[in-house]
Amino acid sequence: MRAVNLEEEKKPEKGGGSLTASSLALRLLGLMIFDAGAFWMILTMWGDGYWQFAAVIAVITVLINYIWLRPETYPLRWMSPGLAFMILISVYPIIYTVYISFTNYGTGHLLPKVQAIEVLEQRRYLPESGLAYNFTLYQNAYGEFALLLTPEGDREAEPIVVIPGEDIEEPELGPLAEDGLPVNIIIPEVDEPFERVARAVILRALSDLQQTTFGGEEVAVQIRGIDRAAALQPRYTYNEETDTITDNQTGVVYIGDDQRGEFISAEGQVLIPGYTVPIGLRNYQRFLGNPAFRGPLVMIFAWTVTFALFSTVLSFALGLMIALVFGRNMPGQKVIKSLLIIPFAIPGVLTILVWRGLWNPVNGIVGIWLSNLMGTPINVFADAFWVKVALIIINVWLAYPYYVLINSGALQAIPQDMYEAADIDGANAWHQFRALTLPLLLVGVGPLIIGSFLVNFNSFNLIYLFNNGGPPIVGTPTPAGHSDILISYVYRLAFASAGQDFGYASAITVIIFFILATITLFQYRFMRTWEKVGESV
């Protein structure tokens, strides 16, 4: 009878498996826990101004619930964690980069408006009537600090004990030392007692201590010297109704400008930090329409295409030549071919650094040889022409073993009877290569050549490690180098310059994506051409 009841409890679930009351309850409980955590994260991120991340978490939450509640999505349930991480780690950064390209996100505008206001409201100043204190520093076993404050010039006043962010109402003071100050302090909220520290400890920790505000609402002090502290007051106050910030020290009122993402006074003074706001197509207009930016960008784009094209063509040609030469029955070809692919086995970072040393004009063998050949000292790292030549040579060295391998395999796939027929027809070696070997080779190797061009288009490691994109282009509004390619120029704008401009860098990244997408689309056209040539051979 019991077996019958168990069978009756089971309900077939569309897509496979069976559903019982206990499994349904566990599933719903798991979803409730997941939804509660996701809902808390969404509210937190939204409240902090990161609505983009909150929206992605909401999409993932809805997707997970749909997959685990709908019977027809049964096969996707065990893939749902992977799908969620794919959206979070792969899809979201792409969408966020596109979004950032339409904003002023960069130095001085890194925070949402809510957080920028919080940062400003946390700043404090010492008013003229502010109280000054002498302090004694104490530290416990956890490395936490506490201050014992006595009003300056009033030794008879009752001391005050404060820790970062909190006032202590009833501290327990230990035995007094010879100078009349307690040896230790016991705070009820903290397990370990605070011991008085030596002056040397204060000197070592002074820079960090000066950045810390001790005390809470009643007393808020900041260390001003080796033994002095002062009561501080909030410097800025935000008025939500008028969207203004008042400087309590000077009385200046700053008005929020949501077009520029800044708080600006009537005299034109700007508060730092500002905040992130959408600015439309302004970053793209800088890239495409501003002559000051267009000058270096035209040079950089032309060099990027030249670098990728020459690197790809020369690497393929060298690799094909070696594969053809060693495709014959030459003595010791296995050992020689093994030696030739060594550059492919060594990490590229090490190879680039070795080549950097070889091109050194002072003690590098290649740099010295080049200077002797040209009859004049040549500093490759400071010469706009020779640094480009060096980069192409190094990139060919890094890539040709790859083409040796793939060309060797592709050549072995060409039927030998075709060459026998060509010999009978009287075709010489050049005609056989041009009309037979190369067309058939491109059918299989062509997509790899185009893929290699795309890789070289974004060859950041070589540019950065060899010369960091130098030598610099003089007179540009943004830092740029003669050997910079687009991706290294984007990195320089986003991370390596004094004023980081992530919005503009993201706009260039989006444009690079469309350039590479266009090249990829042309790949299909060339592929069809190569296939037709291969079929007609």
> Are 132 and 119 part of one and the same domain?
no
Q: Are residues 247 and 180 in the same domain?
A: no
Least confident of 203-207, 279-283, 335-339, 486-490: 335-339
Domain membership of residue 139 (yes or no) is: yes
Whether residues 340 and 358 share a domain: the answer is yes
Whether residues 385 and 504 share a domain: the answer is: yes
Domain at 6, CATH number: 1.20.58.370
For helices 348-358 and 365-374, the axis angle rounded to 10 degrees is 40
Same domain for 205 and 135: yes
**Residue 107 in domain:** no
> Other CB atoms closer than 10 Å to residue 275's CB: what's the count?
24
When pLDDT is cut at 50, 70 and 90, the band that residue 1 belongs to is: very low
The answer as to whether 325 is a domain residue is yes
How far is the C-alpha of 19 from the C-alpha of 28, rounded, in Å? 12
Tell me the CATH number at 531.
1.10.3720.10
Residue 58 inside a domain? The answer is yes
Mean per-residue pLDDT, 236-254? 92
Give the Å distances, CA to CA, from 111 to 108, 114, 424: 8, 8, 75
Are residues 396 and 489 located together in one domain of the fold? Answer: yes
Mean pLDDT of 224-238: 83
Q: Are residues 382 and 498 in the same domain?
A: yes
Q: Which of 66-75, 148-157, 170-179 has the highest mean pLDDT?
A: 66-75
Question: How far apart are the C-alpha atoms of 491 and 514, rounded to whole Å?
Answer: 18
pLDDT of residue 9: 41
Give residue 2's pLDDT band: very low, low, confident or very high (50, 70, 90).
very low
Question: Mean of the pLDDT values across residues 487-510?
Answer: 82
Domain assignment present for residue 105? The answer is no
On the CB side of 280, CA atoms within 13 Å amount to 6
CB-based contacts of 326-335 (< 8 A; 24+ apart in sequence): 326/408, 327/408, 327/411, 327/412
Strand 253-257 and strand 244-247: the pairing is antiparallel
pLDDT exceeds cutoff 50 at 413: yes
Same domain, 294 and 226: no
113 pLDDT above the threshold of 60: yes
Give tens-digit pLDDT for 287-339. Answer: 777 666 667 878 888 899 999 999 999 999 998 888 888 766 666 667 777 77
Q: How far apart are the first and last CA of the chain?
A: 77
| Residues 222 and 341 placed together within one structural domain of the fold | no
Residues 174 and 258 in one domain: no
Torsion angle of the four alpha carbons 175, 176, 182, 187, in this order, in degrees rounded to the nearest 10: 20
What's the Rg (C-alpha) of the chain?
35
Q: Quick one: which H or E segment has residue 135?
A: strand 132-139
User: Residue 189 sits in a domain of what CATH number?
Assistant: 2.40.430
Contact at 8 Å (CB) between 221 and 231?
yes
Domain range for 368 is 287-536
Asked, for residue 106, whether it belongs to a domain, the answer is no
Which strand (E) or helix (H) includes residue 216?
Answer: none
Q: What whole-number distance in Å separates Cα of residue 379 and Cα of residue 370?
A: 9
What is the rounded average pLDDT for all residues in the chain? 83
> Would residue 140 count as lying in a domain?
yes
Among 105, 110, 121, residue whose Cα is nearest residue 244: 121
Tell me the residue length of the chain. Answer: 537
Helical pair 502-536 and 438-457, crossing angle rounded to 10 deg: 180
Q: Do the beta carbons of residue 494 and residue 501 sit within 8 Å?
A: yes
Q: What is the CATH number of the domain that holds 260?
A: 3.10.650.10
Residue 166 has pLDDT above 90, yes or no: no
Do the beta carbons of residue 264 and residue 255 sit within 8 Å? yes
- Number of structural domains the chain divides into: 4
* Global pTM exceeds 0.85: no
CA distances (Å), 80 to each of 44, 53, 69, 73, 394, in order? 24, 19, 12, 10, 44
Indicate whether 414 belongs to any domain: yes
What amino acid occupies position 164? Answer: P
Tokens of 107: 């130095």
Q: Average pLDDT, stretch 402-406?
A: 87
Same domain? For 263 and 191 the reply is no
Tokens of 84: 């969620």
> In this structure, are 369 and 441 located in the same domain?
yes
